[in-house]
Amino acid sequence: MKNILVLFTAVIGLNLQAQTTENSLLIKTENGLLKGASENGVDTFKGIPFALPPVGELRWRAPQPAQDWEGVRDALEFGPNCAQNGWGNYGGIAAGSSEDCLFLNVWRPEGLAQGDKAAVMVWIHGGGFVFGSGSSPDTDGGAFAKQGVILVTVNYRLARFGFFAFPALSKEHPEEPKGNYAYMDQIAALKWIKNNIAAFGGDPNNVTIFGESAGGVSVQSLLTIPSANGLFQKAIVESGGGRDGVLTARPLKEDNSDRFYPVSAETAGINFARKHGINGTDAAALAQLRALPVEQIVDGGAQHDSKGSLTYSGVIFDGKLVVETAESVYNNGNQNDADVMIGSNSAEVQALNLNAENKEELFSKFGSLAEEAKKVFDPTGEAPLAEILTKVNTDNVWAEPARFTASAVTKGGKNAYVYIFSYVTESMKERAIYGAPHASEIPYAFGNLNARWGVQQTTDEDIQMSKLMNTYWANFAKTGSPNSEGLPNWPLYDDQNEGMIEFQADGTAVGKPNPKKDRLDLIQKAVTLKELKVNGI
C-alpha cells in the first residue's frame, strides 16, 4: 500500500510539473495567446505575426497592425521567408518564401516569466536586401538564450516588395511614408517587441538591435531614422558601412543633381511596370501592378530590363521615413540615442568595384594621394595585386566607415566599441588567404559553428572563438559593455587612442590600438578630399 501511495504521488508530481511547464509556454500577447515549445533549456516561439500580411491592397503599403486571434495559436513552426528569387530557379521564387512573410521568432531562457527583465537582442538578417531569412539555422538563438538573453529574429520585405516607388503610389495614402517598406517592417517589429516582450520575460527598455551586411546597413539606418528613436537602446553593426557609398538612398522623384543616383525610384518603378506591359502611371496602373503574381514582382532577381534600364530602386529618400543620409546625420550629430558596437572582417571581399588590372591603375584611383596610398597599402612593393585590392575594398567600404561611425557616436556622448574579425577556421584557410571574408563571423557570434558552410570541421580554436564572441555580444546587450571577468579587455573607442579588439588569426582576442590606423587615415583623407574614385557597394 505504501509503495502504491509513493507511485501515485510521483505520478501526480510529474503531471503537475508537465502542467506547469505547459502553462509557462503560454504567452499572452496583445493579439492573443501563443503556445511555444521547450527543448534543451531554451523556450522557442516561432512564426509570430507582427503585422497583417502585406498582400493585395496592402502590397506596397506601410505595415498594418496584426489581427487578433481566438484561442491559442501554436508558435511551433517558422513562418515563410519573404518572397525572393530561388537559386537556379529563374521565373519562380525560392521554396518556403511568400509575400505573406511578416513573422518574428523568439528564443528565451527556459522558465523565464513575465516580470523578469531579461535583455533583448533583435537580429536583422543580411542578404543584400534581396534574399535572407529570420529562420536561418546559423542564426538560431539558442546560444544567446543560454547566456540569459532573449533573442528575436525578424523577417522583412525584400527587393521590390521592400523598396518600390511609382507615381500613383506616391499620391495615395499621403499620411503614410513611401518606398522603404523593408525599414517600415523592421520598425513595426520593434514596436511589436516594445509592446509585447515583457510577456516573455524581457525588458522593453533594454533592447539591442544587430545585423550584418544588409542587416548592418539596416541597423545604421535605424540609428539615423528619426522615427526609430526610442525603440532600442544599443546597436551592433557587423560589416554595415557608415559612409554614403553604402548607405545612400535613391531620390523618390527625378533629381539629376544627385551625385550617386540620377535615376529616381519612381522612374525605376515605371520601367518595371513597362517591362510587364503596364504603360500608365495612374491608379489603374498601380492596381495592375498589385495584381501581378508574386513571381513577376521577384522577376527572377532581375534589376534591369532588356534595354538595361533600372527596374529596382533599393533604399529611397521618401522624405518622411528616410530624410537624410547616415553620413550626414553622423556629421551633424543627429543620430538616435544608443551605445554602439561596430566592426568589420579583415578581408571582406576581393576586387569589389575597383577592377584594376595592375597596381598603378589601382593607386591612380587615389588621385593626388596615389604615392601615399602606395606607402600604406604596399610598403615593400611586393604585395600581390589581389591582396591590395582586398585591403582597399575592405577598408574603404567597411573598416573606415565603422571607425567614422564610432567617432560620431562618442562625439554624441555615447559609448562605442570597435572590432576587427581576423579569424579563419582551418577548413577555410586555403580559400581565405588574405583574412576573414564577409559574413564569416556570424556563426561565431551566434555559437552555431556547424550551421554554416564555412565551418565544416570544428576545432578547439573554433569553439573558443565562438564562446568569446557570443559572450561579448551577450554582455553588451545586457550591460552596455562587452567586458566581464575572465575575458580579454575590450577597450572603449576614443579618437585619441582608437582602442579596439581584434579577434585574431591565432584564435585569441586582443585589445589594442587599431592596427589599420595608417590605412584608415588615408581612406578618410581620400573620402574627405573626394579623391578616391571608388564607390561603395
Q: Is residue 9 part of a domain?
A: no
Residue 451's pLDDT band (cuts 50, 70, 90): confident
Half-sphere exposure of residue 419: CA atoms within 13 angstroms, side-chain side: 29
| CA neighbor of 30 nearest in space, from 153, 154, 149, 194 | 194
Reduced to 3 states (helix: H, G, I; strand: E, B; else coil), residue 133 is: coil
Both 47 and 152 in one domain: the answer is: yes
DSSP per residue, 483-499: --TTSPP-PPP-TTT-E
DSSP, residue by residue, 101-127: --EEEEEEETT--BTB-EEEEEEE--S
Would residue 21 count as lying in a domain? no
User: Are 292 and 346 within one domain?
Assistant: no
Q: Does the annotation count 213 as an active-site position?
A: yes
- Which amino acid is present at 91? G
How high is the mean pLDDT of the chain? 92
HSE-CB of 468 using CA atoms within 13 angstroms:
22
At 149-168, the pLDDT tens digits run 999 999 999 999 999 999 99
Question: What CATH number did the domain enclosing 536 receive?
Answer: 3.40.50.1820
392 and 533 belong to one structural domain: yes
244 membership: H or E segment, kind and range: helix 244-247
Q: Provide DSSP, 334-346.
A: ---S-EEEEEEET
pLDDT at site 236? 98
Which residue in 213, 239, 313, 346 is the catalytic one? 213
**Domain of residue 529, residue span:** 338-537
| Position 453 in a domain | yes
Same domain, residue pair 342 and 457: yes
360 shares its domain with 244:
no
pLDDT digit string, tens, across residues 419-434 = 999 999 988 888 889 9
CA angle 211, 159, 99 (to 5 degrees): 100
Domain count, the chain: 2
Residue carrying the nine cell digits 551605445: 339
Q: Which of 282, 309, 329 is the last residue of a domain?
A: 329
Instruction: State the pLDDT confidence band at 244, using cuts at 50, 70 and 90.
Output: confident
Domain final residue, candidates 329, 357, 379:
329
